[in-house]
Amino acid sequence: MQDYKYVYLIGIGGIGMSAVARWFNAQSIQVFGYDRASSTLTDQLMQEGIRVHFEDHVDAIPEQITNHREQSLIVYTPAISSKNQVLNHLKANNYTVHKRAEVLGMLTQDHLTLAVAGTHGKTTTSSLAAHMLYSAGKNMVAFLGGIAKGYASNLLVNGEASKDTIVVIEADEFDRSFLHLHPHLAIVTTVDPDHLDTYGDEKGFQQAFKAFIALVPPTGKAIVHQRAAQQLRINEDRPSVVRYALADATVSAENVCIQEGDFYFDYVSKEVTIRKIRLAVPGYHNVENAVAVITACLILGLDTASIRSGMATFQGVKRRFDYVIRNEQLIFLDDYAHHPVEITALLKTIRILYPDKKITAVFRPHSYTRTRDLAGEFAQSLDLADQVFLLDIYPDREELIEGVTSACIFDRMTLDKKLMCNQENLIDALGQQDQPDIVVMIGAGGTSSFVTLIKEFLLMHWG
């Protein structure tokens, strides 16, 4: 990596790509990027001194890249279209071109790496681990898949880069990207089937996670949720695997309780018990995430005081149970949940915290294949709300699939109060309802404009 003076990222506006861009920029390497449209992230990168263009044309390639081919590294995301002119030109002209996952593999090869994988929870879990190490003063760098609150970034760096730097990486299972990493420690939160357009079926999906766990050397540890370990049929006596859960696992949480919106629990293992830990991010699923992170942090040498402090001061991740409005009149939340299991956990957490309030959910499905494959499960999870406004599908990187629309979910729902909406009529539909107690925007992509519209409407009428 030290041989490169210039790095050019194709798809720089993605959450994972922008973290890599920031890391190279912090190493005083000249960074350039392309994306198809400007965004808050690309605006921030440009403010940080990174040059970004939005034209998919060969003439837009920075001259530093064209004039210094041997000293230039090209990094791209699998989300980029196969028809992208810039990327195809660079490949055809023998530039050094790597996927983001391959670059992360190179970065982790010579460092003690904690990689966090799972269908759900990996962003919060990796961000919590990064915060714990950062707040404990460890020499570390973290590449995250979300914006960590308190840091306003998806890249956390503490100390100068050296052979002793601990690397925390959110390990993405999409496109089998996580198999390029070199983890000494791994956390696996969940293995519920997803990305079946890549894996074909549940068996193929699970085989990839087995291969990921197999990357951990005998001297390392894979910290695997009990349910995931059972789904993957991992041997009980496998010494490199530590099972975690709320209960009945190698490491677990006991005496979980809620006080003034915060979760408290005891961390329990054969070796140590840490009592009355305060976790400020809500949800029993986050208590489980915390158990996994504490296990990793103990292996990495954090003491009890650092663990208590780190847990209590973690502010969470943007768009994960994110309060947009929170007052006596109403609550408006924004959440990235885009899988039925995540939606179920989200709505159950809201119920636990606000048992006497009614929940209005606004959901935008993410991708045609996920909607097609999990329509029934989406319907069951959304039925946990009191009222649902269902928006059109956000296609992400996919082409239209004939016959797959939000109606596939809508028609399977049993909830009486449900309505299909779009950006043009959502606010009118909300306006015809009584004042809501809680509104939650749910979805992984194409939701920011809806959040803005809903926020303005709620504040104008009931804020």
Over residues 341-387, the pLDDT tens digits come to: 999 999 999 999 999 999 999 999 999 999 999 999 999 999 999 99
Q: Where in the chain is the domain with CATH 3.40.1190.10?
A: 109-313
109-313 CATH, one of 3.40.630.30, 3.40.1190.10, 3.90.1150.10, 3.90.640.10: 3.40.1190.10
* pLDDT value of position 276: 98
Q: Where in the chain is the domain with CATH 3.40.50.720?
A: 6-98
Q: How far apart are CA 163 and CA 38, in angstroms?
A: 36
Alpha-carbon distance values, 429 to 380, 389, 415, 436, 449 (Å) = 23, 9, 17, 12, 16
Q: How far apart are CA 123 and CA 126, in angstroms?
A: 5
Domain 322-462 has CATH 3.30.70.260: no
Q: How far apart are CA 290 and CA 376, in angstroms?
A: 30
* pLDDT value of position 398: 78
Task: Tell me how crowded residue 160 is: count the other CB atoms within 10 A of its CB.
Answer: 8
With a cut of 50, which residues of the chain have pLDDT below it? none
Task: Tell me how crowded residue 409 is: count the other CB atoms within 10 A of its CB.
Answer: 26
* pLDDT value of position 175: 82
Which of 400, 405, 389 lies closest to 457, judged by CA?
389
Q: Where in the chain is the domain with CATH 3.90.190.20?
A: 322-462
- Render pLDDT for 231-255 as a digit per residue (tens, 0 to 9): 999 987 788 999 999 999 999 999 9
* pLDDT value of position 399: 84
Q: Which residue has the tokens 């392309």?
A: 34
Q: Which CATH architecture has domain 6-98?
A: 3-Layer(aba) Sandwich (3.40)
Instruction: Name the pTM for this structure.
Output: 0.92
* pLDDT value of position 108: 87
* pLDDT value of position 189: 98
